[in-house]
Structure 1
């Protein structure tokens, strides 16, 4: 397709750049499941004539009826005008034959995630639609390049990865395959903006942006659990109440479905030739094998049986707060704690060097750095976890070793309780929970950017909108400091020398640039 295109329905004005699909152009959706109906609804409300097709007889008509009912509910809730509903229903049609999609300007496929089936569908579509029709797949796990590999015109093929539920979630990953024409990707991008979505551009890589970068959110929680450092309820609470994430990874995977989440993890791992950074969890594999798939099966990490009580996170009992503490050096991302302690009436004395807190009993409070308490021979060390915002965090997580005295731990617990925080004490695990998760997310995000998968802005946008992260990984790394991210990962790598935690060159470059700015 040429960069100089004539948009039908725009008074035959020739545009110098690809533009959004005009509203009078037909959009066809193949597949009438949840995603197919959701995508059709988005296109319909945006003003397009929409055709729904499914190879199962009668399914398209059923989907039209279901979509009409959805529009009726929107009218009842005051989210759609009655006249707009009537106009939309008039533009919605069921198609029983693939040939009925011949006039479509855009065809979006949302069928089973099976490569040969998708390839055959698009081969059949090429025999029906015009050469200027844009063909798109909503795949979340397959290669866009591979799906388009056998097409006569692979340049007009693009990935449009919507997130479920498509009518509500704003993010769409616009994925360019190896052969996708730049103007086709731009037209798809502009069309998604016209539909009220927030599109991000992405190269065809396993997992695209979100499913690639998000793996550590689940993997690090599972690793902490497998090491016996904390239970699922406590890990979830740490990431929610300290890290600021909307849901914890255990409750989230129960919602997604353990089989679905594990399959995506395994697919990304295998697509990256079993790169250790994406290694699946044996604990999750056993959960899937047991049939505990989450909410849909009634039991996953938690029970969803009627009347079942959700396990509570471990919370330390009340302890007496120390009257005074010493702050040695700059606490980095934990520096806001100093003001909070002073506001709580705790006397703070500052001394140079170190970057840690000293408790009255002589113990040290250290921000998670990838090391462990037991390595400090002869010292009472309590680690505390990274928080998105220490002022707003409702829970602080501490870790100790068997060497840490009960008196020092009690002082640490009381110190944070004086700020109105609940405190969870976990085992002596390197990097704790939030800190190692954020470091790994930031590392994969930086690596994706440097490999040309997407821009830094698009990666952060995708993670905020696609999986509701409280901050983009690169934005968060910038606040924590790329040097700190690199150093934490190096410390983890020393303790787990498998390659999983080795910082990428992208992270190393950012840390080096940061060091140059500081010098």
Structure 2
């Protein structure tokens, strides 16, 4: 997809001349958007030839816009003229805002801003595109920390229509407002967030990969099945292991460890030893030709799914604990032409279908005084429309598992079979995403509307964390977490106060405090 190079500013521009230090992939994208928003952009890079490479890249995009009749030649000429080169930092003296996109090291950014303060006027704004460093810490080295602010774009900048606006503890309110207006004028959604580890998007994204890794580490199922379940059942654009391979473990694992330690070993963000070991082995992902998947000519080699077994129909009994789930499963049984038992207890031959939330098959079967050898649990969180997930106890007989598999796949819907786990795959991952999002709202990192929109744009989730909780039902999410916590005693599953209160009151998770 090509960026819309014909974009015009739609918000009043609070700045006139933007300096850009660092012209790599992020810097180029920022420069392109700033020019298209009507700013004069002055580019500087310590590496010789880097600015010229950036200009050629950006101007090439604009020329393609002309070739495709999305941009006039006169407009392209105006844009090209707005890009200036600064061989030395001193040439940025007339800029009223300077954004750095240099190496992600605190000392390097502090040194750059100290040098810029000696060059710029006192009312010029200093913006950092840091993705993980504290804005407050960067500003601490400055004479005027009130003019330092985080302006975190996402790669590729022109296509990822979001920028995090992150004031440090001493950033002046008027600077926040001006930079927010700058981001909007550049055509992006501006997500105001606090200066906390991971800011907003990386903070909210902690649950997806880490919980998937924990499921893998517990031997519940393989990575390809986890990816299939979360894409097909959950509607996520990409499975967590495909995403880790795309990003690269050299990047992803470092972020996992950084946020975990910055939050003083908060269990919700605990990394997995799996990624550390694979990182040490050089299995980085696409960039190394092998990660969780192996890549041939850039294409992931995804293992084939096992075919659904063919078995003779058997009587089926469905637990009535969840009436809606019971009805949906009964419809599948009747459509397949299998005999459905209607009694309160199953016969001695019946396949028993259970519909737990946050429980494993073992506990659910024993609690209902059923024979675990004939019990199979079905994940009903997302319904039965796309992919279906069945889960067996350690003692479930193979013939009963195969019967459940054949039944669920009778109409051609794909089926995944997993080992016993409190909460299946989708339930665990979704509950953790919602819980982390609820804690972000509880901490005031961002308001609920900003949180959900930022996650949709920055992470590509089908819904933001709070909207996701409302979609699946906050009480059901709370049940999953409570059962996970009870079974594991792992504090990573302790429910957020934001979630618990709103579930108890029957309020949407997006409901803010009234006072």
State the TM bucket, normalised to the shorter chain: 0.7 to 0.9
**Distance in 2 (alpha carbons) for counterparts of 1:21 and 1:502:** 45
Matched with 2:512 is none
1:473 to 460, 465, 468: 465
| Conserved 8 A contact 2:316-2:341 | no
- 1:487 paired to 2:479: yes
1:406 Cα shift? 3.4
Residues 257 and 78 of structure 1: CA distance in aligned 2, closer, same or farther (over 3 Å): farther
**Distance in 1 (alpha carbons) for counterparts of 2:469 and 2:498:** 12
**Distance in 2 (alpha carbons) for counterparts of 1:331 and 1:153:** 62
1:114 Cα shift? 0.2
Matched with 2:413 is 421
**Distance in 1 (alpha carbons) for counterparts of 2:24 and 2:478:** 43
Residues 195 and 371 of structure 1: CA distance in aligned 2, closer, same or farther (over 3 Å): same
**Distance in 2 (alpha carbons) for counterparts of 1:199 and 1:292:** 35
| Conserved 8 A contact 1:135-1:157 | yes
Note the alpha carbon deviations across 1:445-481, whole angstroms, 9 max, x for none: 0000111100111111111110110111111111222
List aligned pairs for 1:250-289, cutoff 5 A: 250-289=241-280
| Conserved 8 A contact 2:162-2:191 | yes
| Conserved 8 A contact 1:486-1:503 | yes
1:71 to 47, 57, 62: 62
Matched with 1:184 is 175
1:162 Cα shift? 0.8
Matched with 1:129 is 120
- 1:514 paired to 2:506: yes
**Distance in 2 (alpha carbons) for counterparts of 1:440 and 1:285:** 22
Matched with 1:455 is 447
Which is further off, 298-307 or 229-238? 298-307
| Conserved 8 A contact 2:197-2:259 | yes
1:232 to 199, 218, 223: 223
Which is further off, 248-257 or 336-345? 336-345
- 1:369 paired to 2:363: no
Matched with 2:4 is none
**Distance in 1 (alpha carbons) for counterparts of 2:139 and 2:343:** 61
Note the alpha carbon deviations across 1:289-346, whole angstroms, 9 max, x for none: 01111111111111113498713254441446778765725456x5894696499476
- 1:139 paired to 2:133: no
Q: Which runs of no fewer than 5 residues in structure 1 stay unpaired?
A: 1-18
List aligned pairs for 1:27-426, cutoff 5 A: 27-306=18-297, 310-312=301-303, 314-319=305-310, 328=320, 330-331=322-323, 337=328, 341=332, 344=335, 362-375=350-363, 376-377=365-366, 378-379=371-372, 380-385=374-379, 388=382, 390-391=384-385, 393=386, 395-426=387-418
Matched with 2:3 is none
Q: Which runs of no fewer than 5 residues in structure 2 stay unpaired?
A: 1-10, 510-515
Q: TM-score, normalised by structure 2?
A: 0.88
2:422 to 427, 430, 444: 430
Matched with 2:497 is 505
**Distance in 1 (alpha carbons) for counterparts of 2:21 and 2:305:** 48
Note the alpha carbon deviations across 1:34-85, whole angstroms, 9 max, x for none: 0010111111122211111112233222222222122223333444332221
**Distance in 2 (alpha carbons) for counterparts of 1:36 and 1:359:** 68
**Distance in 1 (alpha carbons) for counterparts of 2:18 and 2:334:** 59
Q: TM-score, normalised by structure 1?
A: 0.87
| Conserved 8 A contact 2:319-2:326 | no
Residues 386 and 60 of structure 1: CA distance in aligned 2, closer, same or farther (over 3 Å): farther
**Distance in 2 (alpha carbons) for counterparts of 1:322 and 1:166:** 56
| Structure 1 SS opposite 2:359 | coil
**Distance in 2 (alpha carbons) for counterparts of 1:115 and 1:283:** 28
**Distance in 2 (alpha carbons) for counterparts of 1:212 and 1:307:** 30
Matched with 1:5 is none
Residues 390 and 508 of structure 1: CA distance in aligned 2, closer, same or farther (over 3 Å): same
| Conserved 8 A contact 1:233-1:313 | no
| Conserved 8 A contact 2:378-2:390 | yes
Which is further off, 301-310 or 267-276? 301-310
| Structure 1 SS opposite 2:402 | helix
